[in-house]
């Protein structure tokens, strides 16, 4: 792994704080949450803001730094981020993935640079600026740092969102993560696809492999594969944008197929598993199609069940009925930035807030940046990171001052 030279932006204090956070090995499956808590406690002290640490599961801290507004009785704003990052294959990285070094192009290489330590530090740096410049906000702002998002959040936001401690925060609106875009657009997500794992079992006549027996399990499998893969192709054709078009279609992938006992015996049963990521607007129709296709394939001889079927949650409104959305959108209009609104293709902790009725938007301000979440050589350009802080200065002020 190469050592990079000293980039001019390396002396920027916000960059230093970003690097320091990236250098903490909060990597699954054994994240160093203790060092994250120490770092965030230091940040809260510098900001002159109170910090609370909750622990619903031992060793899984939830950190909340709060900035009290002029009218603390109004529903508050929560700016959420997760502390953990996914594992790395160090041999595949140009630089040490936990050194957060800057190359000659100003790119900061580290696990978590995009997902999502950048956003959490941008929140803090924006608030640092606002406080130092005497800005007063109408609503209280909470910055939360939660564990285990990368392993489905069971001991993190899933518990926190249902707790009395969370209820006491009186949250009325939130921001969470999204991801980069390869062009000059900014992406904001107002909902998420849900994960449905579908198991289909096809029964049919069995016999010797030399026979042409009718009504076999394989014929029913063929019919269903044609339907599901045809649906998959139609979804693929609808994608005209970039990665985030995935959020607006339902993706279906065959992930497992098994059956049979021997090469010369026609199987009496074949089982298929499909990974389905369902966009909210498609859920009812897709569910009906699955039932229809299985009936057409073989009636009672074809059965199906969902091994996993996450609930479909309401999307956050992006119209005049949502004053937080209007405040959010107006910032980008003033900046003349392009804004793409869609459904997040994957999952984030925002789903737990939407489940309890709190509107949340997802955004990570990383335009003209390759999508490297969970990939080797994850990086974020230092100037892009600093530009993101400028955006959050305006966004936080706008949404926290909604009347």
d(C-alpha 381, C-alpha 109), whole Å: 9
Residue 3 pLDDT exceeds 70 = no
pLDDT tens-digit readout, 310-369: 999 999 999 999 999 999 999 999 999 999 999 999 999 999 999 999 999 999 999 999
Are the CB atoms for 316 and 329 separated by under 8 Å?
Answer: no
| Beta carbons within 8 Å of 236's beta carbon, 6+ residues apart | 249
**Distance of alpha carbon 330 from its chain centroid, rounded?**
24
Place of tokens 């199609």: 289
**Rounded average pLDDT over 274-283:** 96
Q: How confident is the model at residue 72 (pLDDT cuts 50, 70, 90)?
A: very high
Are the CB atoms for 286 and 276 separated by under 8 Å?
Answer: yes
**Nearest-5° angle of CA 139, CA 141, CA 145?**
165
d(C-alpha 332, C-alpha 385), whole Å: 17
Buried b (16+ CB within 10 A) or exposed e, 103-128: beebbbbbbbbbbbbbbbbbbbbbbb
pLDDT tens-digit readout, 179-238: 999 999 999 999 999 999 999 999 999 999 999 999 999 999 999 999 999 999 999 999
Which CATH architecture is the domain 194-309 placed in? 2-Layer Sandwich (3.30)
Are the CB atoms for 212 and 395 separated by under 8 Å?
Answer: no
Q: Which helix (H) or strand (E) holds 274?
A: strand 269-278
Q: What is the pLDDT of residue 258?
A: 98
- The pTM of the full predicted model, rounded to 2 decimals, is 0.91
Q: What is the pLDDT of residue 1?
A: 47
**Closest by alpha carbon to 178, among 257, 115, 88, 99?**
115
Q: How confident is the model at residue 21 (pLDDT cuts 50, 70, 90)?
A: very high
β-partners of residue 306 are 198
| Beta carbons within 8 Å of 167's beta carbon, 6+ residues apart | none
β-partners of residue 399 are none
Q: How confident is the model at residue 241 (pLDDT cuts 50, 70, 90)?
A: low
**Closest by alpha carbon to 341, among 176, 173, 181, 187?**
187
Token couple for 116: 């999502």
Q: What is the DSSP string of 226-250?
A: HHHHHHHHHHHHH--SSGGGGGGS-
Buried b (16+ CB within 10 A) or exposed e, 22-47: bbbbbbeeebebebbbebbeebbeeb
**Catalytic positions:** 84, 149
Q: In angstroms, what is the C-alpha Rg of the chain?
A: 24
Calculate what percentage of the chain has a pLDDT beyond 90: 95
The domain made up of 8-178+348-400 is a member of CATH 3.20.20.60: no
Domain with CATH 3.30.70.360 in the chain: 194-309
Domain with CATH 3.40.630.10 in the chain: 8-178+348-400
Buried b (16+ CB within 10 A) or exposed e, 364-392: bbbbebebbbeeebbbbbbebbbebbebb
- What single DSSP character describes residue 5? P
**Closest by alpha carbon to 115, among 289, 372, 326?**
372
**Distance of alpha carbon 67 from its chain centroid, rounded?**
25
**Rounded average pLDDT over 225-254:** 91
Across all residues in the chain, what is the average pLDDT? 96
């Amino acid at each position: 792994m190469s050592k990079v030279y000293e980039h001019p932006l390396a002396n920027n204090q916000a960059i230093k704080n970003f690097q320091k956070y990236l250098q903490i090995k909060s990597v699954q499956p054994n994240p160093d949450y203790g060092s994250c808590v120490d770092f965030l406690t230091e940040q809260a002290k510098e900001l002159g803001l109170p910090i609370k640490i909750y622990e619903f599961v031992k060793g899984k801290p939830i950190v909340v730094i709060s900035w009290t507004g002029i009218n603390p009785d109004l529903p508050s704003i929560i700016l959420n981020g997760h502390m953990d990052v996914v594992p790395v294959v160090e041999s595949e990285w140009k630089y040490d993935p936990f050194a957060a070094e800057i190359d000659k192009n100003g790119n900061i290489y580290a696990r978590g640079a995009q997902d999502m330590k950048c956003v959490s530090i941008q929140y803090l740096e924006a608030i640092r600026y606002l406080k130092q410049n005497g800005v007063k906000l109408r609503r209280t702002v909470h910055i939360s740092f939660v564990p285990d998002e990368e392993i489905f959040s069971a001991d993190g936001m899933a518990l926190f969102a249902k707790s009395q401690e969370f209820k006491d925060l009186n949250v009325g609106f939130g921001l969470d993560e999204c991801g980069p875009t390869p062009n000059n657009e900014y992406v904001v997500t107002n909902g998420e696809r849900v994960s449905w794992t579908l198991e289909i079992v096809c029964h049919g006549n069995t016999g010797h492999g030399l026979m042409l027996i009718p009504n076999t399990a394989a014929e029913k499998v063929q019919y269903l594969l044609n339907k599901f893969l045809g649906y998959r192709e139609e979804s693929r054709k609808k994608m005209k944008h970039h990665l985030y078009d995935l959020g607006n279609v339902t993706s279906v992938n065959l992930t497992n197929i098994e059956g049979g006992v021997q090469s010369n015996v026609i199987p009496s049963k074949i089982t298929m598993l499909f990974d389905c990521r369902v966009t909210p607007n498609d859920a009812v129709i897709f569910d009906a199609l699955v039932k229809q296709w299985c009936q057409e394939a073989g009636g009672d001889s074809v059965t199906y069940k969902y091994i996993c079927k996450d609930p479909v949650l309401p999307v956050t409104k992006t119209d005049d009925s949502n004053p937080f959305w209007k405040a959010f959108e107006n910032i980008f209009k003033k900046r003349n930035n392009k804004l793409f609104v869609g459904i997040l293709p994957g999952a984030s902790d925002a789903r737990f807030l939407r489940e309890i009725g709190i509107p949340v938007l997802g955004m990570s301000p990383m335009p003209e940046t390759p999508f490297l979440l969970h990939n080797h050589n994850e990086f974020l350009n230092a100037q892009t990171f600093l530009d993101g802080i400028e955006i959050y200065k305006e966004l936080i002020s706008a949404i926290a001052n909604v009347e």
